[in-house]
Structures are given as C-alpha cells and as structure tokens.
Homo-oligomer: A and B are copies of this chain.
Amino acid sequence: MTILGEMIIGQQCVRGTAGEAFGFNPATRANLEPGFGQATGDDVERACALAGQAFDPYRALPLEQRARFLEAIAEQILAVGPELIERAMLETGLPQARLEGERMRTVTQLRLFAKVVRDGYFMDATVDSALPDRTPPRPDLRLRKIGLGPVVVFGASNFPLAFSVAGGDTASALAAGCPVVVKAHAAHPGTSELVGRAVQRAAKESGVPEGVFSMLYGDGRTVGQQLVAHPAIKAVGFTGSRQGGTALMRTAAGRSEPIPVYAEMSSVNPVFLLPAALQAGGAGLAQGFVDSLTLGVGQFCTNPGLLFALEGADLDAFVKAASEALAGKGAGTMLTAGIHEAYNTGVAKFGQVEGLQLVAQGGEQGTGCAARAALYVCDADTYLGNAALEDEVFGPAAVLVRFKDADQLLKAAEALHGQLTVTVHAQAQDHGVAGALLPILERKAGRVLFNGFPTGVEVAHAMVHGGPFPATSDSRTTSVGASAIDRFLRPVCYQNVPANLLPEALRDENPLGLARLQDGTLQAGGKA
C-alpha cells in the first residue's frame, strides 16, 4: 500500500488543492513524504452533503449489517499490517509496542461497538400500551433512540489510532447510525490515510451508503471550523486542547441550529495520597506514580499531574523515592514540535512560581522533541494562591502539594475544577477521610479510582472518560466505553403509529429480541 496524500470522500480518493502539508518526524525534526493536499471549501461541502444523504439509508440498515461494518473496519485496519505501525512510529515518535497495543485497542473498541449495536440496549426501547378505556384514553406510545445525524470527528494527536480516524468517536458515532466526517490530525496524516482507506474498503465491502465515511486534511481554524458550521453536521467529537475545544464550542453554539460538541480537553487528574496509604505504599507507590507520570512521555489525558498529601515523614520518603525513580527515566520524544514547545513553556512557568520547588527531573533533554520529566513540590498556600497550578501542562510534569491536615485537603478538593479522573490512595485507616472525599470527588470527575493510577483507560461498559468542564465540554457523557454511543442519540416517540410502519425495535412481537421498558417494567429481552 502506498500513501498518496489523498483524502477520502465517500468512495473517492481526492487530492486536496488548498495547499500541501507534510508529516513530521518529531525524533529527527524532518518532514516526511509525501505531501498531503489540504481540503478546499468544496471538499468540505461534498463530504458533508454526502454524509447528509447517507444518514437515512445508513440508519435504516439492519443492525446486524451495521455491526458487521464496524467489524469489517477492525479487520481492514489489521490487514494494513506493519506499514501502519511503521508510519505511525515515524509520525508520532511513539514506540512500536505502544502502537501495536493501541491498534489492538482500536480494534477492540470497534468490536465492542459491534456488540453494543447487536445488543440494542442503546435504543432504550420503551412501550406504553394504549389504555382505550381510561378517561381520557391513553394512546399507544413507543420510544426508541435514533442517531443525531452526521458527526464531525477531530482526530487526536496523542492517540493516532484509538482516538483518530477510526477511533472511539468514529466507532461510537457509526454505531449510533451516524455518518462520520473525520478531520485528520495534522500530526499523523499518513497514518490517517492508511486507516481512512481501511474504513473506505470496509464501507464498500459492507454495502453501507457511500457518504457514511469521509476524511479530510486541513487546519482546525479553517477546515475544522467549516465542518462544524456545516448545516448537515449535527454533532462534533473532539479530543485536544482547551483552546481548540472551546473554539469549536463557540462555533457550534453560534450556528443557526446549535449542535452538541463533545470536546475532551484538559485535566490534571489529582491523586490523593492518604496517610496510611503513604506509609504502607513505600517506594513501590512512588515507582507506580512515576511510571504513570512518564508513560507515553506523559501525553495522556489521564496523566497524573497533581498530587495532594499530608506533610510528614512518610511524604518526605515518598518524594525521595519518587525523585530517585524519576531520575531513572530517560527523556522521551513528544508527539509534535508544538506539544514539545508547549511542555517546555509550561515547565518554564512552573520555574517562576515562588514557593514551587523543583525536586526531581528525568534524564537530560535528548535530541529532537525529547522532553525531560519533572516533579515539583509546594505547600498548600502556594498551591491555593496560584490558580495556574491547576492548569494542565501536557507532558511528564507533576506538582505535589503538601497539606497540613485533612480539613485543608478537603477544602482543596472542593476547589478543584472538573477532571477526567481523581485518584485516592487509601488503606482501611484512611477510609474516614476517603468517605468524606468521595461525595466531593464525584462532583469533580468522571472517574474516581482507588489505589491505582489514572493512566490506562479500560474500554468497558462501566467506563466513564468524561467529567465536568474544563475536563470536557459536556459532563453528561463519556468518550470511552460502551456508553459513548449515547452522545450521538436522541429519543423519538411514536404515537399510534400503524404496526406496519413501526420500526422493528418497537413492534409488538419484538423481532429484535430487545430489552424494553414495557409499561414501566424493564424486560431484559433475548433474541426471538
């Protein structure tokens, strides 16, 4: 397979004519061939119009066909073989094992959503029988959820496979019955083309309508904004910076028909180290933290960038052990020159905060876009007096705050912004404080975890990768796990609709064997 620098518009491969952009090797700081033609306004129009036309026929297909399409995408991605991993390594600086793992995660996500489609729970099928003898009579009422319409997905820089062209947002939108137009991330255009062509082949072999999938190259401020503003588009999935996410939110809110934006933006993922856990954890706890902090050069949304603990000898020992562990971590290549520069700027700002002490660093700055991990420590007053210490510095840097007592810790928890995750390390003796923290943390984060670290987001039914603003633009949802499909659905009620016109999901005989809420009682279903 050869990377041609072309975009995907339905079943066509199209070279954009609005200039050319290149992939970039962050390890060598060299551009990568070929050039990628950037989308014009006409390309945006064609992709969106095709998506709009595809919506009704796509959502009308049998669920089984929709599920098989998702599985076919997974198979086609695997069929690309080593070329995909090799190109992604060049474009992102990520190591082979990580990218192979991420490919498996991408495939797992697609297969999970195939199961979600077949299970059909997502439709929330509900039937309230007519009550003709009631005064006034109650009509026959039935509800199912349908897709919102075409979705724009912005590829994320830090997951070139699992949150990019055929990543979680695309998989969940397609599962919901929504066509997808991807704006490929400029940091991995070749990887994007290989995956885009895999999706295109899967669409063809699955017999889904042509406009169900398109993929364009272009700048977020031009092509990205045009896509979000297009009338055919009904929702947006985005993973990236707070600045980028809030810009899309403004555009979406300013449309003549406002649409939802699911932007996953920034989080420092606070970790509470409670006293008995700190004592019991010893050097292993410190090593676990440093491993999580530096995993993937700290380029995870769930990177633990803020630690809260009570001052004392156990904390001193933790800081010492963490410092030693950190010193053993070499500098790692970051994804892009921009991310690398932003990291260095963020760390430099930490250096100017009075009272914030740099206690440990990772190995020396390497070549290319290599970043040096860093651990800072401060007291509660310094933290509480510097709101910027809660802003995310994307990369392997963390701030540890020493508190005087549990009361001060609880107040700091209450002052937190919205987060993707909050972690508590607690032994049984800590459960009093942990129990007091929990109702606060539930309000602050989409996921509360104990005695672990927040990196490593499981793809499961019970996962929530979301949280209050600014972690995301919409705390009511998740972008990882089976519930991610809910973002792209809306309920429709069918009142006295003749049986032959009812959707299969709502027919009396329940041909799909769906779980349904029947006259107020949940019936678990089972295939007919």
Contacts of A490 in B (CB 8 A): 446, 466, 468, 475-477
Residue pair B249, A452 in contact (C-beta under 8 Å) = no
Contacts of A494 in B (CB 8 A): 447-449
The answer for the CA separation of A524 and B524 in the assembled complex, in Å, is: 6
Residue pair A257, B138 in contact (C-beta under 8 Å) = no
- A: residues with CB less than 8 A from B are 55-56, 59-60, 115, 119, 121, 124, 126-128, 136, 138-139, 141-143, 146, 148-149, 249-250, 253, 257-258, 260, 418, 426, 428, 431, 434-435, 438-440, 442-443, 445-452, 456, 458, 460-464, 466, 468-470, 473-478, 481-483, 489-498, 500-501, 515, 517, 519-520, 522-525
The answer for the CA separation of A128 and B459 in the assembled complex, in Å, is: 10
CB-based nearest B residue for A470? B257
Please pick, from B431, B468, B489, B491, the residue contacting A498 in the complex, using a CB distance under 8 A: B431
Give the 6 A-B CB pairs with smallest separation, nearest first. A449-B495, A464-B493, A141-B462, A143-B462, A447-B493, A126-B462
A interface SS class: mixed
Residue pair A128, B461 in contact (C-beta under 8 Å) = yes
Task: Report the minimum CB–CB distance from A525 to chain B (whole Å).
Answer: 7
CB-based nearest B residue for A253? B253
Residue pair B520, A523 in contact (C-beta under 8 Å) = no
Residue pair B260, A253 in contact (C-beta under 8 Å) = no
The answer for the CA separation of A442 and B448 in the assembled complex, in Å, is: 38
Residue pair A148, B492 in contact (C-beta under 8 Å) = no
Question: Given that A258-B473, A446-B491, A452-B139 are contacting pairs, would A60 and B439 also be in contact in the complex, using a CB cutoff of 8 Å?
Answer: yes
CB-based nearest B residue for A426? B498
Please pick, from B124, B443, B448, B456, the residue contacting A497 in the complex, using a CB distance under 8 A: B448
